[in-house]
Structure 1
Amino acid sequence: MGYLNSVLSSSSNQVHADDAPVSGGGLSQNGKFSYGYASSPGKRSSMEDFYETRIDGVDGEVVGLFGVFDGHGGARAAEYVKQNLFSNLIRHPKFISDTKSAIADAYSHTDSEFLKSENTQNRDAGSTASTAILVGDRLLVANVGDSRAVICRGGNAIAVSRDHKPDQTDERQRIEDAGGFVMWAGTWRVGGVLAVSRAFGDRLLKQYVVADPEIQEEKVDSSLEFLILASDGLWDVVTNEEAVSMVKPIKDPEDAAKRLMHEAYQRGSADNITVVVVRFPGDQEGDQEGSSSHGGSG
């Protein structure tokens, strides 16, 4: 499909359980944004987090696609979503003309295709997906599950996604209306099993645990400084405000992502930790020396 993918924007060298943490980054060809990622199994013996950072061209537009996918019940669902969600999205005929409906369709289609591919499996894998799509001066954040997206705008930390937890009033209502139940089992869980109320996969709970994304749109202007996407391995131990204040002084987004990953580990996060940081140059016109170190695998 004639992708503009450079070596920089490829993240196919996914970390595996026995590997050290990985990191990397890149810069869009039009200079509109730079990004970095860092991912580590943390204190866990298995790695179920995946990420995708991709720069592509659709109808002459440079598009940035960033995602964090936190698997449960095995890595298969998270890996499948990483490999298929963005391809399904940019192939959608309304990707440019009606991006929100294209995102909702791509989430739904990817979920149903994964469930079809799972027929032979007797395990019940699932995954969150927190994604950020950059098209022109639009930033669209779509979320399913409890990975989270936070922006820094005008110096302030603003959550641009909502964690989907079963005890939220509207989520509990939706689950009960579908014939399910929410109960306490160490934390609030759907059917006493799953601690997120929306996810890809989770075939046995599918009528309650949907993959419908909540989508929020932000304008990319001079007040938008950066975006943080991360799995709950970060957010379990670091607040939105703390994360933003740590990233602020670090111009290189790969270094910023690594800083957050290390901080979460040092604070005792018990989970896999994956962080993607996207920086917008609106607040640093002409300050390009910070981006010369991109592309290393750190």
Structure 2
Amino acid sequence: MNIENQRPPQSPPVSSTAAVQTTPSLPGGDAPVEPPQPPAEKSQLPEALPPSQPPPVPTVMIPSRNPNALYSGGGISFLTGNSNARFTYGYCSFKGKRASMEDFYETRISEVNGQMVAFFGVFDGHGGSRTAEYLKNNLFKNLSSHPDFIRDTQSAIVEVFRQTDADYLNEEKGQKKDAGSTASTAVVVGNKLLVANVGDSRVVASIAGSAIPLSIDHKPDRSDERERIEQAGGFILWAGTWRVGGILAVSRAFGDKFLKPYVVAEPEIKEEEIGIVDFIIVASDGLWNVLSNKDAVYIVHDIKDAEVASRRLVEEAYMRGSSDNITCIVVQFEKL
């Protein structure tokens, strides 16, 4: 995420799931293992291997006290609504070249009104990490408690995104410094995959081997976004890139109270049947700034372990020169 003059150095936040886990488990249940001490020199990512030779599954947890640690993990699969498909997932997150970590992520499997559902989200903060952390802690909780979540999932997503943004802004009243976050989310309900996006993180699917974007980045120079901003009384200016009010390089985000009503948390939603999807990649722009949709899908398509796939993508983005935090989730669907 790119915001002008709003990234003071700070200690990186540590997610409760931010650990390499060697035995898949439900999210939030990662059991830390006492690791060996890291080397004294600055941590670097291992040399990336070609897609045909994926790196081995990690065997130790990288200690959270290391600010340059790369975190990864994965989760179990379960049968979907019609019991003819299942999925596994893996995640990876790395501070990279940024002075602080402003990415958060969430992976959750839960039962809602007797229906098993899954939620995957990547939240890329700007102006600090507090908005992204708030979304990690509250967005799925709010969505799963919506009375129409199972019956009318799309409408529930729109209402919950708006209300979560309003709730967060209410908590921000005492804050003098502005902050915000993107949100790229994927929800599995029965046989449906619903992708809801706010900002310039992105969800890309592999369908019959082809890279299919399931979200479109919200950039100020997108013609429909520019028109919406200007009709609301705002403007965009060029300041190294196009920015809302000359400040923010995305046109939709949670938070950013000083840029309301021009920057909104209104999601765009795409729905697919999971039966046609091979896998999806949910990632922050630290990955997409240096990897095309096609490249990302190509790297993942021969890797059978979702956690290994997510690590491989982060490593490749870093090797290609990404200057941002890099976070991604890979969800692989298996037909039975």
Report if TM-score (shorter chain) is over 0.5. Answer: yes
Partner residue of 1:272 out of 322, 325, 334? 325
Partner Cα separation in structure 1 for residue 67 and residue 161 of structure 2 = 30
Which sections of structure 1, spanning at least 5 residues, go unmatched? 1-5, 286-298
Matched-pair contact (CA < 8 Å) for 2:204–2:280: yes
Matched-pair contact (CA < 8 Å) for 1:11–1:53: no
Aligned to 1:174: 228
- How much identity, in percent, do the aligned residues show? 59
TM-score, scaled to structure 1: 0.90
3-state secondary structure, aligned to 1:281: strand
Aligned to 2:17: none
- Listed as ranges, the matches of 1:176-255 within 5 Å are 176-221=230-275, 223-255=276-308
Residues 1:11 and 1:246: Cα distance change in structure 2 (over 3 Å): farther
Aligned to 1:71: 125
Alignment size in residue pairs: 277
Partner Cα separation in structure 1 for residue 68 and residue 324 of structure 2 = 15
Q: Which amino acid aligns with 2:258?
A: L
TM-score, scaled to structure 2: 0.80
Aligned to 1:58: 112
Matched-pair contact (CA < 8 Å) for 2:25–2:74: no
Residues 1:204 and 1:108: Cα distance change in structure 2 (over 3 Å): same
Residues 1:178 and 1:80: Cα distance change in structure 2 (over 3 Å): same
TM-fit CA distance, 1:60: 1.4
TM-fit CA distance, 1:11: 7.5
TM-fit CA distance, 1:37: 0.1
- Listed as ranges, the matches of 1:254-265 within 5 Å are 254-265=307-318
The range that moved more, 189-198 or 56-65, is: 56-65
Matched, 1:134 2:188: yes
Partner Cα separation in structure 2 for residue 103 and residue 252 of structure 1 = 30
TM-fit CA distance, 1:7: 4.5
Please list every run of at least 4 consecutive aligned residues from structure 1 whose deviation after the TM superposition is greater than 6 angstroms.
Answer: 11-17
Partner Cα separation in structure 2 for residue 196 and residue 62 of structure 1 = 34
Partner Cα separation in structure 1 for residue 174 and residue 306 of structure 2 = 41
Larger radius of gyration, structure 1 or 2?
Answer: 2
Matched, 1:45 2:99: yes
Partner residue of 1:23 out of 55, 72, 75? 72
The range that moved more, 65-74 or 26-35, is: 26-35
Matched-pair contact (CA < 8 Å) for 1:17–1:41: no
Partner Cα separation in structure 1 for residue 78 and residue 150 of structure 2 = 19
3-state secondary structure, aligned to 2:330: strand
Partner residue of 2:27 out of 1, 5, 9? 9
